[in-house]
Chains A and B, each alone.
Chain A
Amino acid sequence: MPALPDSASPTLLDGVNNARILVVDDNRINRNLLIALLERGGFRNIATAGDGVEMLACIPEFRPDLLLLDLMMPNLDGFEACRRLRAIPDYRDMPVLVQSSLSRAEDRARAFAMGATDYVTKPLNPAELLSRVRIHLENRAMLRRLQLYRQRAEAELTLAQYMQEGLLPPPALLTRLEQQTGVRVSAHFAPSSELGGDYWDVRVDATGRLIVWLVDFSGHGVGAALNTFRLHTLLRPLTFDSFDPATFLATINQKLCPLLPRGQFATMLAGIIDPAHDHFLYASAGATRPMSWTPGDSCPHSGDSSGLPLGLLPGATYENRITPLPPQGRLFLYSDAAVELPLHDNPNSVLDEDGLIATVAALLHNPDDTVFLPRLMEALAGKGHFDDDLTAVLLTRRR
């Protein structure tokens, strides 16, 4: 038998030496040979089984990290035992290293077809066997580590996602607001990963007029989300008895400037629907252009939205503007992911405002509020692939 590699070799993986290995062979001498070989390779945690039945019985308790599996065994041979093992979801990924004296091509093919991960023929080359065992165990350890990371991260991010959705107005609130203000609000909120930098909200002023804002913090993911939580906290206690959009933005800007580190900023649009004047009075801090649509028009009106984003300059001032919004009219607000949408058929260009207006215009004539946003999302998905947080809010004056 060729010499074993020096088991004190420093290259490896003390981590996997604790791995649990199950040796399955009906021949006692073979089992002992394998145990001795594995022990000299530094593995201590070894169990044995004499046939396929014993193997399947002992796996749930021993929980091996790797199986060394003979093929020719009584009661239940290695082929069938392997097939049954793979049928169990928990064991689909367990490394199964077949070690058999069967050496024909069809035996090997059959073993792999039954789900074997690897195949070595007897008589064994000890060094090669140990190398293969270590490769499989290292790989498994890395996979497990990454899978565990993924599980934990996903659980945590899902919780955080739930928290972020909690910042937004719930459906029950929107229903009440519609009764109170006559404005129906529907929204689409789709961060590019689990968390995003977008946040929108609604309020009612002292005279029953609806206030709405949409904020888009720079970046995305957890960092951008942290800022949405900050802003939500700052806005929470405010009352809106006499709402002036430009003053509102200036106030928010003052509060955000000391909080945001250099390089971070937010675009924001805030406004109030004023039925008495059939318009939407708003101010913009570098947000996208609000679209308002009058029934009968073929195209929505796109309002001016220039203004300095929040967080850049303390003391920045903003301008109040209006866009028409008669009864049955619609107001459409959106984060810039919609206009910055990279197009499928030309990844170097984006949808742009004109493209969005055209897409929106086609859908505005359908009076059914519930289909506008889903159809818009479908249409946009057909045109391009979103790579940023997308928020869209549709407000319809029902009276």
Chain B
Amino acid sequence: MDLAQSTILVVDDTEFNRTLLCLMLREGGFRHVLNASNGTQALDIADRESPDLIILDIMMPGMDGYEVLRRLRANPITADIPVLVQTALTSSDDRNKAFIAGTTDLVSKPIDRAELLARVRIHIENRLLLRDLQAFHDRVESEIAMARAMFSHLLPSPDALVRLTRSHHLHLYGQTWLSPLLGGDLWGFWPLPDARLVVWMLDIAGRGVTTALNAFRMHALMQDLAEHAEDPVHFLTIFAERCSGLLPLDGLATLLIGIVDAIGQNFTYASAASTTPLLLTAMPQAGDAVYAGTAGGYPLGFDTRQEFVAHRLPFPPGSALLLTSSTAITAFGEHPECVREAISAQETVNETTFQQLVTSLTAIIGETPEDDHTLVWIAHASPS
């Protein structure tokens, strides 16, 4: 860190004082020293040049140092610049006034050279360190923001979901809470002929950049193998094979893939250690209002020779399928009453039920939870 590269702004209405300060600073190795003889000039230079430190006199005609301080703090560009007030004023009230107005430090006139340089060095070093750290933070955050945008681009758009109602007699809703760090929850659908729909949900444990990298790998793989999706068991078998060697040993990925058949009234699916799909119905003759399907299987990348099994859930009109990420299941598991309340609130299970689940989950995990959470809702478009 090169202190000599820093810029210091000296503000004093007396030329003698300005010259003295500049001399002291120069002797201390600070070569870039700007000058201002009044408040207006000081504010202008500070705004334009963003000095690393401002040495500020208090007693000046026109705008005094207190006012300069207040305005510096009110301007976002200059609000964080450290200010060292140098004043002949000795009363406690005057000194406190400077701190209240927002100064960072204060020295009395006449200024002792050693003390001035010591304080200046402390403030400049601190400032340069902070700027460095802030620059790193901002750069990384902008890279993460771009990655997050790419990630949410992978998720089905609301438009795509709306179009399904007509073509497949289905209402499909998805709600994803994205972690402010990057996460690993993805889901998607592929339309099949004769009004059937492939739906899949991929859950990669963890968060952060490495998780997102693995999620993108998995997603690329999903797209590449889409042609095999008509047979969920076959898809998972090939997919698991392709995953071997791709994921690190501790990178757990789980996958649920299935075919929703609105006309045939069933949901056929296969699972690699995914969460269990839920069938929600408010019809008394269906028994329990919430019926959990079977899931099972081992996580991907774990055992390439596992055999997958096809499961089936009924999917009658008036019911809805709910797929959840493991984080959402955990959250609901800690508050099971939320699911029951959402269902029993209506006579039929419909979009309002889903919205209530979304509201409940938001209440449980907050607007920006640490991990990704996903809910996918599939219901018949035609009433029962």
Contacts and interface: CB of A to CB of B under 8 A. Distances in A.
Interface of A: 2, 5, 105, 108-109, 112-113, 117-119, 125, 127-128, 131-132, 135, 139, 142-143, 146-147, 149-150, 153, 156-157, 159-160, 163-164, 193, 195, 219, 221-223, 225-227, 229-234, 236-237, 255, 258-259, 261
Nearest to B115: A108
Contacts of A233: 216-217, 220-221, 224, 246
Interface string B96-123: 1001100011100000101100110010
B173 to A, nearest CB: 23
Top 10 A-B residue pairs of the complex, sorted by shortest distance between their CB atoms:
A112-B118, A109-B114, A131-B99, A146-B133, A221-B143, A223-B146, A230-B220, A105-B112, A222-B147, A222-B143
B104 A223 contact: no
B223 A226 contact: no
Given A222-B146, A229-B213, A259-B223, A127 B92 contact: yes
Contacts, number: 136
Contacts of A221: 143, 146-147
A112 B119 CA distance: 8
A237 B241 CA distance: 10
Given A113-B118, A139-B126, A222 B144 contact: yes
Interface in B229-257: 242, 246
B33 to A, nearest CB: 21
Chain B, interface size: which category? 35 or more
A232 B246 CA distance: 10
Given A125-B95, A258-B223, A159 B210 contact: yes
Contacts of B246: 233, 236
A157 B104 contact: no
Interface stretch (B62-70, B134-142, B272-280, B344-352): B134-142
A195 B144 CA distance: 12
Interface string B132-161: 011011011001101101100100000000
A163 B217 CA distance: 12
Nearest to B96: A127
Interface of chain A: mostly helix, strand, loop or mixed? helix
B130 interface: yes
A2 B137 contact: no
Contacts of A2: 92-93, 96
A292 B216 CA distance: 35
A128 B99 contact: yes
Contact of B217 (A108, A113, A153, A229): A229
B143 A163 contact: no
Contacts of A261: 150, 153
Nearest to A143: B130
23 contacts: A105-B112, A109-B114, A125-B95, A127-B96, A128-B96, A135-B105, A143-B126, A143-B133, A146-B134, A163-B210, A193-B139, A195-B143, A222-B143, A222-B182, A223-B150, A226-B212, A229-B214, A230-B219, A230-B220, A233-B246, A234-B224, A261-B150, A261-B153
B59 to A, nearest CB: 18
A128 B217 contact: no
Contacts of B137: 146, 149-150, 153
A95 B136 CA distance: 24
A83 to B, nearest CB: 14
B292 interface: no
A89 to B, nearest CB: 15
A222 B92 contact: no
Given A109-B118, A259-B220, 12 more contacts: A2-B92, A113-B118, A131-B100, A146-B130, A221-B143, A222-B146, A229-B213, A229-B220, A230-B219, A231-B220, A232-B217, A233-B216
A119 B144 CA distance: 42
A107 B376 CA distance: 70
A234 B146 CA distance: 22
B310 interface: no
B88 interface: no
A100 to B, nearest CB: 13
B24 interface: no
A146 B122 CA distance: 18
Given A156-B209, A226-B213, A147 B115 contact: no
Contact of A163 (B126, B140, B213, B219): B213
A259 B223 CA distance: 9
B77 interface: no
Contacts of B286: none
Given A230-B216, A255-B224, A259-B223, A150 B133 contact: yes
A118 B223 CA distance: 61
A125 B96 contact: yes
A219 B146 CA distance: 10
A143 B112 contact: no
A304 B144 CA distance: 36
Nearest to B119: A112
